[in-house]
Amino acid sequence: MDNSDSWLEIIRHSAAHVMAEAVLGLFPDAKFAIGPSIEDGFYYDFDLPRTLTPDDLPVIEERMREITASRQAFQRRQLTRDQAQALFANQPYKLELIDELPEDDISIYTLGEFTDLCRGPHVEHSGQIGAFKLIRTAGAYWRGDESRPMLQRIYGVAFETQAELEAHLEKVAEAAKRDHRKLGKELDLFSVHEEIGPGLVCWHPNGAMVRQLVEDFWKREHHSRGYGIVYTPHIGKLDQWKQSGHWEFYRENLYAPMDVDGQQYLLKPMNCLGHILIYKSRLRSYRELPIRMAELGTVYRYERGGVLYGLTRVRGFTQDDAHIFCRQDQIRDEVVGVIELAQFMMETFGFHDYKLVLATRPDKYAGTAEVWEYATASLTAALESLGLTYEEDPGGGAFYGPKIDVKLADAMGRDWQGPTIQVDFNLPQRFDVCYIGEDGGEHLVTMIHRTVLGSMERFFACLVEHYGGAFPVWLSPVQARIVPIADRHIEYALRLEETLKKSDLRVDADCRSERMGFKIRDAQMAKVPYMLIVGDKEIESEGVSVRMRSGEDIGLRSIDEVQERIRSAIDSRS
Amino acid sequence: MDNSDSWLEIIRHSAAHVMAEAVLGLFPDAKFAIGPSIEDGFYYDFDLPRTLTPDDLPVIEERMREITASRQAFQRRQLTRDQAQALFANQPYKLELIDELPEDDISIYTLGEFTDLCRGPHVEHSGQIGAFKLIRTAGAYWRGDESRPMLQRIYGVAFETQAELEAHLEKVAEAAKRDHRKLGKELDLFSVHEEIGPGLVCWHPNGAMVRQLVEDFWKREHHSRGYGIVYTPHIGKLDQWKQSGHWEFYRENLYAPMDVDGQQYLLKPMNCLGHILIYKSRLRSYRELPIRMAELGTVYRYERGGVLYGLTRVRGFTQDDAHIFCRQDQIRDEVVGVIELAQFMMETFGFHDYKLVLATRPDKYAGTAEVWEYATASLTAALESLGLTYEEDPGGGAFYGPKIDVKLADAMGRDWQGPTIQVDFNLPQRFDVCYIGEDGGEHLVTMIHRTVLGSMERFFACLVEHYGGAFPVWLSPVQARIVPIADRHIEYALRLEETLKKSDLRVDADCRSERMGFKIRDAQMAKVPYMLIVGDKEIESEGVSVRMRSGEDIGLRSIDEVQERIRSAIDSRS
């Protein structure tokens, strides 16, 4: 028995056996494949005489409840391979698994009528299993191999208590409501079109406005922290990607080259090489360093169609990229600066919960061991000077240098890839990126690659889900919507719209001939932070009635007061 | 004799003959090709026994002066082809030309020793030629054909008076000083690298800052005028470019397609198709129209290497593109809006001199004659309602709709391509781009393509040359440079830098251990609008001495006063 499994994993794995027993009761000819515990629950893959429908799940679940209520024992036995093969003679998938097991150390578990090849451990009896629920069915190839039979998989979730199960189901329902693909449609934020191609995103005006606000904020912050912002082309000669090593090491993620005047050109997968050429466009002295070069650079990387997903896994994306060209003795201070910038950005967007991971030298590496040691010590010193706790991932660095990764937790507690800071000893060498030192000689520069948001696409997906589409006022595509109650209030509404627009607020007026309730629901669906309702009373007092997207009624307010309220929400970025 | 030639053209053409006579005197075996008048002057192509050097030009020019001083007559004779062939028996290029002339109508002109095949007209005698100057030599293939002999071309300029010639030479020298390729290096604005490929531009921080300021301004203006700003991918399936007709009609300007998952993808040459897909992502009602969709969209078009030039002729460029989807009856008002926006933008950037051209229906066209008539009338009505004068270019429209082109004149009086407004009846049909009309039925939308700046690359080149690199304060990458006189003034300089940065000014401090004169020259070379000099006197009075890039000394001023002065220059965009 392996003690590394947690009690929750044991419960979940045992629930898979309970489900298998229930399926066996319904389908005596069922062939069984595998049934492990997974995050939040379990699944089992079956080969069944007919396709399951959603209606089957409650029936199977009901039989499972009978099994858990009857507190059946899990009985373990140890067999030789011959004995196991005899026992599972009718179960081809099990036989295939048995072939791969050691001769004399094959364990099986029996639960009621169902006996499974299984290493365990399990609960003692099915009454210990706690709360579970079957979620959905899916097709799954035996061993994940498209040339093998397609099996039917049933997914379930399981927890120790009913309360935990319900909390989980609620969280899942909430996550579904916040799904950026769903909100992307509902809020008219972005689209992906078969006509253009999978993984290539069109940003609609609403989504593009949020992106632009994020980009503007990003540019301002970078400029004020001494970054020079640049633009470099999306294509370039393949030769430079051969020189960099990308063609050799990452070829399966690169697009096919195209021919221009008899030369091969490539869509850029990274922004580094353009930045290096700008750096090298003149001699650089040690006195000029560090040089910080940033770009909102759109890159294209090939991903298999099957892994593409909404905005989080795409083929074209805009990195908030930067490269810092510095001397070795500047690494520490530069990393401190990057972390401080990253912290400021994360806090601004409401991510207060994150963890840092320092990945160190792998077995194969570029540069010397001394250089690695120095750089890793610089990263450590940076983290420590900021009083930050971090995990270490020994040997987890890329071959070209150590790095710091930040993982964000969103409002739902789910992890997102956050800022990364990557030291690079490889490219300066391959492209001879130098500075003139105090000694008058040429020295290789140290490069630090870093992103703070990652990519605009993934970060935007994260924001959408984090805020559930209800962007804070400073990021809302429409900050306030004016709702005239009747046609006679339209003129006042339009004048008010003009006034607020002149104050640089993003406002519109819904002057359709619809009932007020309808228009308010519409604004709430669009997650507009402020609804400004205009009727006789409001016109008479030269004000508006303010309603929040939460449903909260603020009541009648003067125009000045409303402007001030919105302005203060914008300025505080809350 | 053809009377369409102006006196200036006649002078220039005659000067070419004078130059040919001078060359004949120096090279009795010279073979003569052609020698026309061109803008500002003339050239002649010669086949000579040796390559000309720059030293030859003054010698030739001197002989030309002797010829003009001696007032030689231009004598015309009419020959048959046989006579002409006999006369030019030693001149193979002339013989080739004679073959293409009519049997009995071949004219020749004799000037001193030199007789040329020539239709004329010419001045009566060489004394009438006025002022001229030889400028440079260049290689030129006979008849522009790379498989024919390479000849030597001498360029000259000629004007009626010496004063006009000198004004022209001065203008050329000034243009050379303002050349955006030269200033691009001097001011560290951009670069093009063989490693990436010709025609593909890297924007350095200084140039990118100007571009970003232009883009920010552009976005703000577009947003406030009801445009939705979008982003669409740089690549997409080739099929859509077949459907649009681009593959058929503009193939030689498209990049080679690349294979992705067995499908052909293309770098986008235009932004239209992404915008159409966003438009079509849901049903559109007549009430929603017009929909104005704008993008700073980077497109890639193949141009032959030989025509690439600085930032004005490139292979990748960012259009300030927009598409207006509207009903036919909205064309007029939309065009008025675009022209007003264009005028505002042009005025803001200091272009007060421009002309409009309306291009109308060509022989081959998409859509019906009625639709064309209606749209052309709408464009005319728009121009007239704004009280604008315009030229007409009959039949000069694209096959898919009439358009308005605007030509800008820069500070040197040179023409630049400005805004274009293009009605399109073709794409809505090809992509079935519709709206639901008041009648509940589907109707084809009218599309208006428009750019106001053209491309960021060309517009930036135009700005650089227009301002001679001395950008107005609001566009200057660095608005003020603080110059401490001695090391003891550095602390005050750095504090001042912080203060001004906090007021959102782009400021730096030159704290190098160099003499003040050196640092000021440096700042002037960099065309920094304000130099803020800091010494004992300034620190004592808590101020700075202000010096403008023009060299003007403003004297000692308080910090507040300086801030106000800079801020007011920024706000007025002057």
Answer yes or no: do B277 and A202 touch at CB < 8 A: yes
Torsion of CA A387, A388, A391, A395, to 10 degrees: -80
Answer yes or no: do A258 and B255 touch at CB < 8 A: yes
Q: Which CATH number fits domain A473-571: 3.40.50.2000, 3.10.180.10, 3.40.50.800, 2.60.40.10?
A: 3.40.50.800
Answer yes or no: do B260 and A265 touch at CB < 8 A: no
Cα angle for residues A161, A165, A166 (degrees, 5° grid): 115
Closest-CA distance, A237 to chain B, in angstroms, reads 5
Residue A34 contacts residue A45 (beta carbons within 8 Å): yes
Report the pLDDT averaged over residues B158-172.
94
Chain A residue with minimum CA distance to B209:
A229
> What is the per-residue pLDDT for B528?
97
- Which residue in this structure is represented by tokens 């690439």? B308
Among B230, B243, B301, B460, the residue to mutate for chain A (most A Cβ within 10 A): B230
Residue A188 contacts residue A206 (beta carbons within 8 Å): yes
In whole angstroms, what is the distance from residue A543 CA to residue A564 CA? 13
Exposure of A6 in the CB half-sphere (CA atoms within 13 A): 10
Chain B residue with minimum CA distance to A277:
B193
Stated as kind and residue range, the H or E segment containing A548 is: strand A543-548
Is it the case that residue A1 has pLDDT exceeding 80? no
Token readout for B247 is: 């593959």
> What is the per-residue pLDDT for B4?
55
Report the pLDDT averaged over residues B103-124.
92
Is it the case that residue A40 has pLDDT exceeding 90? yes
Among the listed residues A133, A301, A450, A547, the single catalytic one is A301
- Tell whether A308 lies on the interface with B, counting CB pairs under 8 A: no
Per-residue model confidence as pLDDT tens digits over A215-231: 999 999 999 999 999 99
Is it the case that residue B267 has pLDDT exceeding 70? yes
> What is the per-residue pLDDT for A4?
55
Q: What is the pTM of this model?
A: 0.88
What's the topology of domain B5-174? Threonyl-tRNA Synthetase; Chain A, domain 2 (3.30.980)
Is it the case that residue B1 has pLDDT exceeding 50? no
Is it the case that residue A292 has pLDDT exceeding 90? yes
What's the topology of domain B186-233+268-467? BirA Bifunctional Protein; domain 2 (3.30.930)
Per-residue model confidence as pLDDT tens digits over B295-315: 999 999 999 888 899 999 999
Is it the case that residue A416 has pLDDT exceeding 90? no
Per-residue model confidence as pLDDT tens digits over A464-497: 999 999 999 999 999 999 999 999 999 999 999 9
In whole angstroms, what is the distance from residue B445 CA to residue B425 CA? 9
In whole angstroms, what is the distance from residue B480 CA to residue B528 CA? 6
The phi, psi pair for B373, rounded to 5°, reads -60, -45
Report the pLDDT averaged over residues B157-178.
94
Is it the case that residue A297 has pLDDT exceeding 70? yes
Answer yes or no: do B281 and A191 touch at CB < 8 A: yes
Per-residue model confidence as pLDDT tens digits over B541-566: 999 999 999 989 999 999 999 999 99
> What is the per-residue pLDDT for A507?
96
Average pLDDT over all residues of chain A: 94
> What is the per-residue pLDDT for A28?
95
A255 to chain B: which residues are within 8 Å by CB? 235, 258, 260, 265
Report the pLDDT averaged over residues A17-23.
97
Is it the case that residue B202 has pLDDT exceeding 90? yes
Strands A291-300 and A227-229: parallel
Residue ranges, CATH 3.30.980.10, chain B: 5-174
> What is the per-residue pLDDT for A2?
42
Cα angle for residues B102, B108, B112 (degrees, 5° grid): 170
Strands A316-326 and A446-455: antiparallel
In whole angstroms, what is the distance from residue B137 CA to residue A360 CA? 62
Report the pLDDT averaged over residues A450-459.
95
B230 to chain A: which residues are within 8 Å by CB? 202-205, 208
- Tell whether B416 lies on the interface with A, counting CB pairs under 8 A: no
Q: For residues A348-363, b (16+ Cβ closer than 10 Å) or e, as one string? A: ebebeebebebbbbee
Among the listed residues B118, B272, B326, B462, the single catalytic one is B272
> What is the per-residue pLDDT for B249?
86
Is it the case that residue B397 has pLDDT exceeding 50? yes
Chain B residue with minimum CA distance to A508:
B226
Token readout for B563 is: 């801030």
Answer yes or no: do A230 and B202 touch at CB < 8 A: yes
Residue ranges, CATH 3.30.930.10, chain A: 186-233+268-467
Is it the case that residue A206 has pLDDT exceeding 90? yes
Per-residue model confidence as pLDDT tens digits over A123-163: 999 999 999 999 999 999 999 888 999 999 999 999 999 99
Residue ranges, CATH 3.40.50.800, chain B: 473-571
Torsion-angle region of B88 (φ positive above 0: left; ψ -120 to 50: alpha; else: beta)? alpha
